């Protein structure tokens, strides 16, 4: 049981990294990774929302959509849940943890359109995970996103002092670095066997 959970976790963080294997959340990955502090804030805000979304999506699928026989409403339902959850989380944080809100305030609304979250919700339904596994999967995927964006921000802070060809400045060189990072993560593929 615990072994399975660890496998799901490691797979989500390293082997099937959401950013570098599935290309999810590329917009924040390119947009917010120019400084380390905001990258880490964005990463943790996303992890937070993903950990909450996973169990909620699971419950909606099993207690509402399956009971009522409305599988075609999956997309609409999940995206509404995510959008309102992000709004709700923002309000709660603003009310009770103003300092935290100041740190990641502007990133929270952006998370609604982070495709990693919708993908995660749809995948845990598709893979028929149990509730506990879904939570671990959601948390692990968020952590994988945080890992990727943090590494990227660290490299980009260094690259500001390098002589990059003019045509590749900005997004071009960022994508090439992401390619090299993805190459490294491909190497981690043999770590465990994932279906």
Partner 1 sequence: MRQAIVTKTPVILKDFTKGLWQENPVFRLLIGMCPTLAVTSQAQNGLAMGLATSFTLIASSIVVSIFRKLIPKEVRIPSYILIIATFVTIVSLYLQAKFPDISKNLGPYIPLIIVNCLILGRQEVFASKNPTHRAAADALGMGLGFTISLAALGMVRELLGSGTIFSFKVLGDGFRPWIIMLTPPGAFLSLGLMLGMINIIDRFLKTKKGFFPKFDAKKGRT
Please, what is the minimum distance in Å from the beta carbon of residue 99 to partner 1?
26
**Could you write out the three-class secondary structure of 66-117?**
HHHCCHHHHHHHHHHHHHHHHHHHHHHHHHHCHHHHHHHHHHHHHHCCCHHH
Q: Which helix (H) or strand (E) holds 190?
A: none
Query: Would you tell me which residues interact with partner 1 (CB under 8 A)?
Result: 20-27, 30, 72-76, 79-80, 83-84, 112-115, 118-119, 122-123, 126, 165-168, 171-176, 178-180, 182-183, 186
- Please, which residue, 52 or 117, has the CB nearer to partner 1? 117
Q: What is the C-alpha to C-alpha distance for residues 190 and 11, in angstroms, rounded to an integer?
A: 11
In total, the chain counts a number of residues equal to 195
- Please, which residue, 6 or 70, has the CB nearer to partner 1? 70
Please, what is the minimum distance in Å from the beta carbon of residue 152 to partner 1?
11
- Please, which residue, 2 or 190, has the CB nearer to partner 1? 190
Place of tokens 């943090």: 150
Q: What is the C-alpha to C-alpha distance for residues 9 and 140, in angstroms, rounded to an integer?
A: 5
Q: What is the C-alpha to C-alpha distance for residues 93 and 164, in angstroms, rounded to an integer?
A: 40
Please, what is the minimum distance in Å from the beta carbon of residue 182 to partner 1?
4
Please, what is the minimum distance in Å from the beta carbon of residue 114 to partner 1?
7
Place of tokens 């075609």: 72
Please, what is the minimum distance in Å from the beta carbon of residue 5 to partner 1?
23
Phi, psi of 155 (to 5 degrees): -65, -40
- Please, which residue, 91 or 168, has the CB nearer to partner 1? 168
- Please, which residue, 6 or 64, has the CB nearer to partner 1? 64
């Amino acid at each position: 049981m615990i072994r399975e959970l660890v496998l799901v976790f490691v797979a989500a963080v390293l082997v099937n990294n959401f950013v570098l294997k599935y290309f999810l959340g590329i917009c924040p990955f390119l947009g917010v990774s120019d400084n380390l502090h905001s990258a880490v804030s964005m990463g943790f805000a996303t992890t937070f929302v993903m950990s909450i979304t996973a169990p909620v999506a699971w419950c909606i699928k099993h207690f509402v959509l399956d009971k009522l026989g409305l599988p075609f409403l999956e997309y609409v339902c999940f995206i509404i849940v995510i959008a309102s959850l992000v709004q709700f989380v923002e309000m709660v944080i603003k009310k009770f943890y103003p300092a935290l809100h100041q740190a990641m305030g502007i990133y929270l609304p952006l998370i609604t359109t982070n495709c990693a979250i919708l993908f995660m919700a749809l995948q845990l339904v598709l893979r028929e995970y149990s509730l506990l596994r879904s939570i671990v999967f959601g948390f692990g995927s968020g952590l994988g996103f945080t890992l990727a964006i943090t590494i990227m921000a660290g490299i980009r802070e260094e690259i500001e002092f390098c002589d990059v060809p003019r045509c590749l400045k900005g997004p071009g060189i960022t994508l090439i670095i992401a390619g090299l990072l993805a190459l490294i993560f491909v190497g981690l593929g043999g770590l465990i066997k994932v279906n």
